[in-house]
Amino acid sequence: MSAPAPGPDEVDRILAGWADARADLDTAPLAVLSRVSRLARHLETARREAFASSDIEGWEFDVLSALRRAGDEPVSAGALMHQTLVTSGTMTTRIDKLVARGLVTRTRDERDRRAVRIALRPAGIEHVDAAMERLLAAEERLLAPLSPRDRGVLAASLRELLHPFESDVSPKD
């Protein structure tokens, strides 16, 4: 037996208002995407709190987690740029700041002296691991109303929606 459906939410009230104001409009997309947007705001708040508790900012988490996922292999600045969707100048500034904080090292690539390779230092691992644990706990709380099956269905549906925007796989190097 499944849990009873929750009562109306703010999006239901918005949809009802549009139905009164413009009954000729099909507001079905709002029923999904307004909820996604509102949920994203709650997720952003949870992310900020998880990162602040781990003494890093969101952009630092993005870079550090990309490095953590790479394992022990240093990663090129270009690959980090691609994974975090920032420009070359922005990535250079971010790497500079992470080096200054002692969270990463930057070395010249032995095969191509123009290229740099970025690697996590122990302090970077400590910060990103703590942030990830806090983030997963916060995300678990956000998803608590859904069963494991419903989470899988939602993840598959969201993947399908995102695919046209993110269909290319980023390079590891």
pTM, two decimal places: 0.80
Residues present in the chain in total: 173
CB atoms within 10 A of CB 168: 7
User: 128 with 65: CB under 8 angstroms?
Assistant: yes
Residue 130 exposure: Cα atoms within 13 Å on the Cβ side: 15
Distance CA 145, CA 46 (A): 16
CA separation for the pair 108, 68 (Å, rounded): 19
Question: Does an H or E element contain 168, and which?
Answer: none
Point out which residues pair with 104 in neighbouring strands: 120
pLDDT tens profile 88-141: 999 999 999 999 999 999 998 778 777 889 999 999 999 999 999 999 999 999
User: How is residue 32 written in tokens?
Assistant: 């999904």
Domain ranges of the chain: 10-54+128-166, 58-127
DSSP for residue 41: H
**Lookup result for tokens 């002692």:** 102
The class that CATH gives domain 58-127 is mainly alpha
**Cα distance between residue 166 and residue 146, in whole Å:** 25
Q: Per-residue confidence at 15, pLDDT binned at 50, 70, 90? A: very high
Per-residue pLDDT reduced to its tens digit, 34-86: 999 999 999 999 999 999 999 999 999 999 999 999 998 899 999 999 999 89
